[in-house]
C-alpha cells in the first residue's frame, strides 16, 4: 500500500499601494477584484494587504524576506504611474530575475483596445522571482486590474505548472558548513534594513568605524566592508589628488539605489556613504558595509551596492594629474 502527500493548494497574495485607502479615507476596490479572481482560479488567497505608497518598500521587503513561505503568485495594484509617489515598480522590479515583457506588452495592448490611451503610461512589469514566484504590478484602478486579469486568465495555470516543475535554485556544490535550517525569527527581524546611506564632505574612515558597530549584531555571522580608495594612477598616468562633485539629486538617488538593493538582498544589513570634495591619494571615497548571518549574503549585498551606486548615482570626479593636467570622470 502506498501513501501520497496531499497536494498543497497554490497560494497567492495581493498588495494594494494606496495612501488614502491605507489611511481609511476610502475603500479600495481594485484589490478585491484580484483576490476574487485568484480564489476563483483555485488559489488560496487572503484579503488584500493595503499599505501607503511610502510603505511599499517595507511591505514587499518583509514579504520576500520569508523565502520559504513565498506564495506562487504576487499581484500588486497601484503605484505603477509616473508621479513621485509611485514606488511599486521601483520596489518590485529588482526582485524579478526572469522578466516576462510579453505579458506587460499584452496588458498595454489590452488597454489600448479598450480605448484607454493612458494605459501606456503604466510602468507595469511582470516576471519570475527565484524560479518560484510569479509577480506582476497592475494599476490601482478597476479597469487596469480587469485588463490584467484578462491577460493572465489564460496563462496563469501554465506559468505555475512550469514553475512547479523547475527547481528554484541550481544544485549547490558540497560545502564545509550547512545551513539547511532556517534562521530564527529574531534574525530575520534584524535584516533587510538600510542602516544609513548618505553623501558627506567629512572623512569617511571615522564614520565607517562607528557604522561597523551599528551594522553588525550578535546574530550576524559575517561583515563585509568595501573601501573605495583614491589611487595614485588612472589611465596609465599618475594622479596627485581629486575632487568629487555631486548633482543636487545625488543624495536622494543614493538612498533610493541602496533601498532597491536592500529589497533584492533581504538577508543583509547595509550602510553606505560617498564622500565629496577634495581627497588625497589613499583616502576613502566610497565605503559600503554589509552584514548578514551568512557570508554569501553579506558578500552579495556589498558587491551589489558598490556596482549599483557606481552605475546610477550622479557623482563625478575631477582628477588632478601629476603632470598638472586635469581629467573629468563620470560626466
CATH assignment at residue 30: 3.40.980.10
Q: What sections of the chain are H helices per DSSP?
A: 19-22, 30-40, 56-65, 88-92, 101-113, 142-152, 156-164, 185-188, 204-215, 250-264, 295-312
pLDDT of residue 96: 93
Whether 160 and 197 share a structural domain: no
Distances (CA, A) of 296 to 45, 50, 139, 217, 285: 33, 33, 36, 17, 25
Q: How many Å apart are CA 135 and CA 259, to the nearest integer?
A: 19
- pLDDT at position 2 over 80: no
Domain carrying residue 68: 12-164
Q: Is the pTM of this model over 0.85?
A: no
Give the pLDDT score at 85. Answer: 87
In a domain, residue 65? The reply is yes
Strands 237-246 and 315-321: antiparallel
Residue 31 placed within a domain: yes
Q: Give the tens place of pLDDT for each residue, 47-58.
A: 999 999 999 998
Rounded Cα distance, 258 and 274, in Å:
12
Both 93 and 146 in one domain: the answer is yes
Amino acid at each position: 500500500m502506498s501513501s501520497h502527500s496531499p497536494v498543497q493548494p497554490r497560494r497567492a497574495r495581493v498588495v494594494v499601494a494606496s495612501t488614502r485607502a491605507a489611511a481609511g479615507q476610502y475603500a479600495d476596490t481594485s484589490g478585491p477584484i484580484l483576490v476574487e479572481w485568484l480564489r476563483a482560479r483555485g488559489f488560496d488567497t487572503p484579503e488584500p494587504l493595503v499599505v501607503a505608497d511610502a510603505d511599499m518598500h517595507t511591505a514587499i521587503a518583509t514579504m520576500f524576506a520569508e523565502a520559504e513561505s513565498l506564495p506562487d503568485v504576487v499581484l500588486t495594484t497601484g503605484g505603477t504611474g509616473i508621479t513621485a509617489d509611485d514606488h511599486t515598480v521601483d520596489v518590485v522590479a529588482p526582485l524579478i530575475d526572469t522578466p516576462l515583457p510579453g505579458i506587460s506588452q499584452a496588458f498595454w495592448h489590452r488597454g489600448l483596445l479598450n480605448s484607454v490611451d493612458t494605459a501606456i503610461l503604466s510602468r507595469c512589469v511582470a516576471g519570475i522571482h527565484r524560479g518560484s514566484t510569479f509577480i506582476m504590478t497592475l494599476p490601482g484602478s478597476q479597469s487596469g486590474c480587469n485588463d490584467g486579469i484578462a491577460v493572465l486568465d489564460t496563462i496563469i495555470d501554465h506559468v505555475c505548472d512550469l514553475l512547479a516543475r523547475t527547481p528554484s535554485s541550481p544544485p549547490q556544490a558540497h560545502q564545509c558548513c550547512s545551513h539547511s535550517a532556517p534562521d530564527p525569527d529574531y534574525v530575520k527581524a534584524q535584516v533587510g534594513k538600510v542602516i544609513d546611506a548618505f553623501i558627506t564632505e567629512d572623512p569617511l574612515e571615522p564614520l565607517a568605524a562607528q557604522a561597523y558597530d551599528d551594522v553588525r549584531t550578535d546574530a550576524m555571522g559575517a561583515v563585509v566592508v568595501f573601501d573605495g580608495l583614491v589611487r595614485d594612477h588612472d589611465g596609465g598616468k599618475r594622479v596627485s589628488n581629486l575632487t568629487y562633485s555631486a548633482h543636487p539629486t545625488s543624495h536622494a538617488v543614493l538612498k533610493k539605489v541602496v533601498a532597491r538593493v536592500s529589497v533584492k538582498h533581504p538577508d543583509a544589513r547595509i550602510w553606505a556613504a560617498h564622500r565629496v570634495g577634495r581627497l588625497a591619494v589613499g583616502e576613502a571615497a566610497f565605503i559600503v558595509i554589509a552584514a548578514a548571518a551568512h557570508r554569501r549574503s553579506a558578500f552579495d549585498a556589498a558587491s551589489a551596492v558598490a556596482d549599483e551606486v557606481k552605475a546610477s548615482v550622479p557623482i563625478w570626479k575631477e582628477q588632478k594629474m601629476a603632470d598638472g593636467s586635469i581629467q573629468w570622470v563620470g560626466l
